[in-house]
Amino acid sequence: MGPEQKRQEMEQALRRAGYRITGQRKAIVDYLVSTLEHPGAYKIFEEVKKVQPRLSLATVYNTLQVLTMNGLIKMLTFREDNRYEANLSFHINLICTSCGKIQDFEAGTHMSPEEVREEMGFEVMTYRMEYHGLCSECKAKADQKEEDKKLSSSGLSPRRECQGG
C-alpha cells in the first residue's frame, strides 16, 4: 500500500471515529506515513509542532489511539515509552539496546496469521518480531572502545586520527 492510500485510510478511520480532519491531525498522519522511524508520542508531538505550533499532546495521543485501534498503525510497547509505526508489512524490528533506534528489516519468509489459524487452529491476536542488539553505529563505537582498551592495557596508546603535519 502506498503512502497516499495509507494516508487516506487513516483519515477515514479518524472520520469514522467522529474526529474532524483538522490541520493538526492531517500533519500527524503525514508524519507517520512519511517517517521510517518508530517515534514515541512525544517525538511525534515535537516534530509535528514545528508545522502545527498549536498542537496539543492530547491530540497526538487521541489520534494515535484511534489509528492503533483501527489497525492502521502498530503500537510497540516498551517499558519506558510506547513507539508507533505505520509499516504493517511483515518485517523484523531491529532494536538497538544502546541508543534505542529501531530499524525495519524486511524478512523473506512469513507465515500469515491466517495460515497459522488454518494449519494449527491457533487464533493470532497480535504478533511482533524483534531482534535486540547493537545498530551499526553503536557497534562501531563499542568495537573502538574495546580496541582502545586492549591497546592501553598492553601499554600502547590508543589509535587516534592523524592531526596532519
Can you give the residue ranges of every domain in the chain? 1-88, 90-157
In tens digits, the chain (165 residues) has pLDDT values of 688 888 998 899 889 888 889 999 999 999 999 998 999 999 999 999 999 999 999 999 999 999 999 888 999 988 888 999 998 888 888 999 999 899 989 877 777 888 889 999 999 888 788 899 999 999 999 999 888 887 777 766 655 544 444
Fold of 90-157: Dna Ligase; domain 1 (3.30.1490)
SS (H, E, C) the chain: CCHHHHHHHHHHHHHHCCCCCCHHHHHHHHHHHHCCCCCEHHHHHHHHHCCCCCCCHHHHHHHHHHHHHCCCCEEECCCCCCEEECCCCCCEEEEECCCCCEEEECCCCCCCHHHHHHHHCCCCCCCCCEEEECCHHHHHHHHHHHHHHHHHHCCCCCCCCCCCC
φ/ψ of 26, rounded to 5, equals: -60, -40
Verdict on whether the full-model pTM lies above 0.75: no
Q: What does the angle CA 32 – CA 48 – CA 46 come to, to the nearest 5 degrees?
A: 110
C-alpha–C-alpha distance, residues 40 and 124, integer Å: 25
What's the CATH number for 1-88? Answer: 1.10.10.10
Residue type present at position 102 = I
